[in-house]
Amino acid sequence: MNSKKLWKFFFICPVIIYVSLLIALPLIYILLISFFQSDYYGGMISTFTIQNYIDVFDQVYISVFLKSIFIAGITTFICILISYPFVLAISHKKPRTQKILMTLVMVPFLTNSLIRMYGWLVLLRKSGVINQVLMGLGVIQEPLSLMYNMIGIIIGMVYTLLPFMILPLYSSVSTVDPYLLEASSDLGASKMKTFFKIIVPQTLPGLFNGSLMVFTPALGYFFIVDILGGGKMMILGNLIKNQFLTARNWPFGAAISIVLVLITSLVIIAYRKLGGKMEDLGGA
Amino acid sequence: MKKIGENLYLVLIFVFLFLPILVLILFSFNTSSLNIIFEGFTLHWYYDLFQNSTLLESLFNTLIVAGVSTVVSTVIGTISAYGLYKYSFKGKNIVNELLYIPVVIPEIVLGISLLSVYTLLQLELGLFTLILAHICFCIPFVIISVRSVLEGIDSHISEAASDLGASRFQIFTKIIIPMLMPGILSGAQLALTLSLDDVVISYFTAGPGANTLPLQVYSMIKTGITPDVNALITIMLCFVFVLLMVSTVVQLRRLKKEVSL
Amino acid sequence: MKKVILRIEHLKKSFGNKEVIKNFDLDVYEGEFLTLLGSSGCGKTTILRAIAGLDSVSDGHIYIDGKDVTMLDPKYREVNTIFQNYALFPLMTVEENIGFGLKMKKVNKQEIKKRVQEMLELVHLQGYEKRKPKELSGGEQQRVSIARGLINNPKVLLLDEPLSALDQKLRKSMQLELKQLQKKLGITFIYVTHSQDEALTMSDRIVLLKDGVIQQVDTPVKIYEHPNSLYTAQFLGDSNLFQGIVTRVEDNYTWVKVDDATLKIVSHGWCVGDALNILLRPENIKIILKEKKENTLQGTIVDRVYDGASTNLTIRVNKKKINVMYLGNDKLYSRGQSVYITWDIEDTIVLKREAYE
């Protein structure tokens, strides 16, 4: 009986310690300091105030919120547009080829995302490879502004987050019965109709999953905005980063983080309401 | 016609996915140091790289962090997945819910919360805090991956083993672990990928003494990047690619075996 | 006197507030084939798992060969279990699966190899050593799991609905094979099933359970022909039920009024006014064309089903539907025909009606 208890202890202790020390404690602490007051030296005064939350509703910050949500939304939409034809094309291949192609999707992942952003910098800048090639071919006379603007940020976001859409959508598509598609075209449905009436409804779980996994990180990826947006642009990630590392106003940074968590929670609640399962997330 | 269109599209997307990496590999062999036009082939930057102790150290740090956090999170994740599957205890539902937080929360929130707690506990930022942070966001992915395999296992199997005289330890090591291997391996692969890919959380938890390759590149972007960084990235990519090839071949073999049955 | 190999005393088991086994007592003799029979949820599997040590008990004692094992881990009990879905170790070969029990006992490799060969021979699976469970049919997997359970020479082998995953035909042949195996080895089998068919064919004794309480323990013949309760009678085999009141009692015979008819039964201490259940098995009812003096009812054939080996008739007597079964295919009777039914007085099963029925 005693060894049984010891055994149970061994199996559940690590996860309890992990969850309480590395997940619960940090989040509770952030919640706590979001009600603190900052002093002028970058420290915190532990009094209770909701001033930080009132400050969030300043017009400057509201515009950052809106811009972040806009960028994340556009990114999600473009990822969906790119991913559907992609996973459908892959699903028409032999199982072996499918496996190899999906592994190839993962390969760029294994180099760090910041390094890939550096790659895009080399490609997109005024004197970059793309402009050089296009000018060399005589397509354009003047170099295009492909970065230090919204285009650059969106390219970076879509590029970084695309696999998060492709993976769940692919596993969703591979569960669609191919006979159903045959039956549909057999009954005279057009391609468009088959897509919207059969494929989309059956792949909704993957679509929701992918959208969640693209939308929420896009709110916080400050380094993409830093590198490809050129420091002029700002999303929530940059705002939080600045409050913590530059302005050293931790309580305000914490308050923005909590608002970000609330936005994320709304997205997750919507995901669950739409029938999404938590265990499908991150199962890539 | 349809086939050609489809294949063309696939090629296009793969070009999009690989372009930024290919361009860095290409420029690692470029005689010009400006990363603008390919002028000629050279291995000069690889030679330079081995003189650059800052870069080498950041590579070393990256590998240490990825290696240690993968191993630790795989071990803890596997034990936890089995514990959560087999035992019930007070607060288990809360634990299960909390586990998804690192998966869905924006990384920056996790990053600054860990930073705050490190400050609160007066932990000096460095390799240790960095590794701890990586372990923190890798564990849930391992648990999810292992759990999906666990749920497919007939619960009578461990009872059968116990009935035949196996001790709890023997059941876990001789019966359960081998059956969980596919889940453990894919969990470990996921952890490794996430650790190598991470920028945001590392940015807040690394501290000055623990520069990893991405953090090094990040600070160099502002001051100007030397082409030996390209060489370093190329070397790392080769290393990762070989690792991935091995794992894919293993998985394909298994797939083939299953098909032939 | 036969030797008691397993004794269960006052066994109780609760899950939460629900008591699923209530004061269960049972002696199992060496070398017998005992079946725990009952519908799902009756507690039969719970008892099996308690014997194996897979679940703890709330109260009571379990003795194996005289030794109290109630608190012991499965490892230390000289019993082995065959599970419903075989529970073979998927990554091990047939050989490794069967040898697992000996390996855990640290028997040397050569001895294991020898014993595994014997077991393979016993279950007719020579040449399958290197295969994995996935490469075997359901029946073959079942044989492996039986061999795996027997290699440790258990004092009792526990089988938890081992044939339920097999198809009808295979199940029949496995029933015979299991029974032969058990006789040959002389090992005590405790067999759990919900199938009365399996219980009747294979067992030396049947324990019929309902809601965690023993209804009857007897040989198949006795339990079928002399059930001690309406539940037992109706659980095992089909029967036609008549409910009536005793109207006349003599030394040898007793008369019971049932609806419009009066039936004659053998006296067994019944008194006038007793409420009785009278049961007739379908195969004991005979069809005749001319009325007899007693125990004859008139009716009309409303349905006729032929299943190859036998014919089943449904006969309406007054408002009651009576099932009659006879071997073969006698075309003499057809739907709509008016006939008489009768039976031997010894074939009636008579039970006192309980107040709650």
Angle between helices A95-106 and A150-173 (to 10 degrees): 150
| Residue A248 within a domain | yes
Q: Report yes or no on C357 lying in a domain.
A: no
Integer Cα distance of C149 and C152 in angstroms? 7
Which own/partner pairs from A274-279 qualify as long-range (CB within 8 Å, at least 24 positions apart)? A274/A204, A274/A208, A275/A204, A275/A205, A275/A208, A276/A205, A276/A208, A276/A209, A276/A212, A277/A205, A278/B97, A278/B100, A279/B144, A279/B147, A279/B148
Location of structure tokens 């106003």:
A249
Closest CA to A76 of A149, A21, A141, A157: A157
Residues C92, C11 within the same domain: yes
CB contact, 8 Å: B4 with chain A?
no
Closest CA to A280 of B147, C27, C126: B147
> What value does the mean pLDDT take over residues A109-126?
88
- Residue B144 and residue A281: Cα distance in Å, rounded? 9
Residue A26, in any domain of the structure: no
Asked if pLDDT for residue A169 goes beyond 50, the answer is yes
List chain B residues with CB under 8 Å of C89. 157, 160-161, 175
Q: What is the nearest CA distance from A108 to chain B, expressed in angstroms?
A: 6
Q: What is the CA radius of gyration of chain C?
A: 25
Q: What's the pLDDT at B241?
A: 80
Distance, CA of C132 to CA of C117 (rounded, Å): 16
| More confident call, A31 vs C262 | A31
Do C249 and C134 have their domain in common? no
Cβ-contact C259, C299 below 8 angstroms: no
Residues of B in contact with C150 (CB under 8 A): none
Domain boundary among C217, C235, C253: C235
**Host domain of residue A236:** 51-280
With respect to residue A12, please indicate whether it lies within any of the assigned structural domains. no
Please give the tally of structural domains in chain A: 1
Q: Give the pair of three-digit tokens for residue C246.
A: 């005793």
More confident residue, B33 or B213: B213
Q: What is the predicted pLDDT for the residue at C166?
A: 85
Task: Identify whether A2 is part of a domain.
Answer: no
Instruction: Please tell me whether residues C9 and C125 are part of one structural domain.
Output: yes
Fold of B53-225: MetI-like fold (1.10.3720)
Within a domain: C175: yes
Q: Which chains form contacts with chain A, at 3 or more CB pairs under 8 Å?
A: B
Which residue type occupies C211? Answer: D
Among A4, A7, A9, A18, most B C-beta atoms within 10 A, so best to mutate, is: A18
Contact of B200 with A223, CB cutoff 8 Å? yes
Probe site for chain A from B14, B103, B112 (most A CB atoms < 10 A)? B112
Query: Tens digit of pLDDT for each residue in C204-236?
Result: 999 999 988 999 999 999 999 999 988 999 898
In a domain, A275, yes or no: yes
A284 pLDDT above the threshold of 50: no
The number of CA neighbours under 13 Å toward the Cβ of A84 is: 17
The Cα of B175 is separated from the nearest Cα of chain A by a number of Å equal to 16
pLDDT of residue A93: 86
Mean pLDDT of chain C: 89
Residues 185-244 of A with CB under 8 A from B: 212, 216-217, 219-223, 227, 236-237, 240-241, 244
Q: Could A11 and B203 be called an inter-chain contact, meaning their C-beta atoms sit closer than 8 Å?
A: no
pLDDT tens figures, C234-252: 898 888 988 888 998 888 8
Q: Do C61 and C127 have their domain in common?
A: yes
Using CB atoms within 10 Å of the CB of residue C310, give its burial: 0 to 12 exposed, 13 to 18 middle, 19+ buried. Answer: middle
Residue C142: give its domain's CATH number.
Answer: 3.40.50.300
Per-residue pLDDT of B37-80, as tens digits, reads 777 788 888 888 888 888 889 889 999 999 999 999 999 999 99
pLDDT digits (tens, 9 = 90+) for C5-60: 999 999 999 988 888 898 899 999 999 999 999 998 888 999 999 999 998 889 99
pLDDT tens digits along B184-211 = 998 998 899 899 889 999 999 998 778 8
- C357 has pLDDT over 70: no
C-chain residue closest to B160, CA distance = C87
C284 and C150, same domain (yes or no): no
Whether C61 maps to a domain, the answer reads yes
| CA distance linking residue A35 with residue A199, whole number of Å | 48
Residue B115 clears pLDDT 50, i.e. is over it:
yes
Q: Is the pLDDT of residue A185 over 80?
A: no
Return d(Cα A7, Cα A9) in angstroms, integer: 5
Q: How far apart are CA B71 and CA B93, in angstroms?
A: 26
A22 assigned to some structural domain = no
How far is the C-alpha of C237 from the C-alpha of A117, rounded, in Å?
Answer: 77
- Above 0.90 for ipTM, yes or no? no
Per-residue pLDDT, C356: 62
On average, the pLDDT of chain B sits at: 88
Interface check for B178 against chain C (CB to CB < 8 A): the answer is yes
Asked if residue C70 and residue C216 are part of one domain, the reply reads yes
Contact across the interface for B13 and A120, Cβ inside 8 Å: no
DSSP letter at A278? Answer: G
DSSP conformational letter for C212: T
A31 located within any domain: no
Instruction: Examine the domain organization and report whether C301 and C188 are in the same domain.
Output: no
Report the number of distinct structural domains present in chain C: 2
pLDDT over 60 at B131, yes or no: yes
Whether A56 and A259 have beta carbons less than 8 Å apart is answered as: yes
**pTM of the model as a whole:** 0.84
Written as one letter, the residue type at B31 is T
Separation between Cα atoms, residue A215 and residue A213, nearest integer Å: 6
Count CA atoms closer than 13 A to C147's CA, side-chain side: 29
> Would A32 be classed as within a structural domain?
no
| Cβ–Cβ < 8 Å for B61, B211 | yes
Residue-range definition of the domain harbouring residue C309: 240-352
Give the strand pairing for C79-82 and C310-317: unpaired
Instruction: Assign residue A134 the CATH number of its domain.
Output: 1.10.3720.10
Would you state the structure tokens that stand for residue A213, as one six-digit string? 């996994």
CA pair distance B178, B184, nearest whole angstrom = 9
What CATH number should be reported for the domain holding residue C258?
2.40.50.100
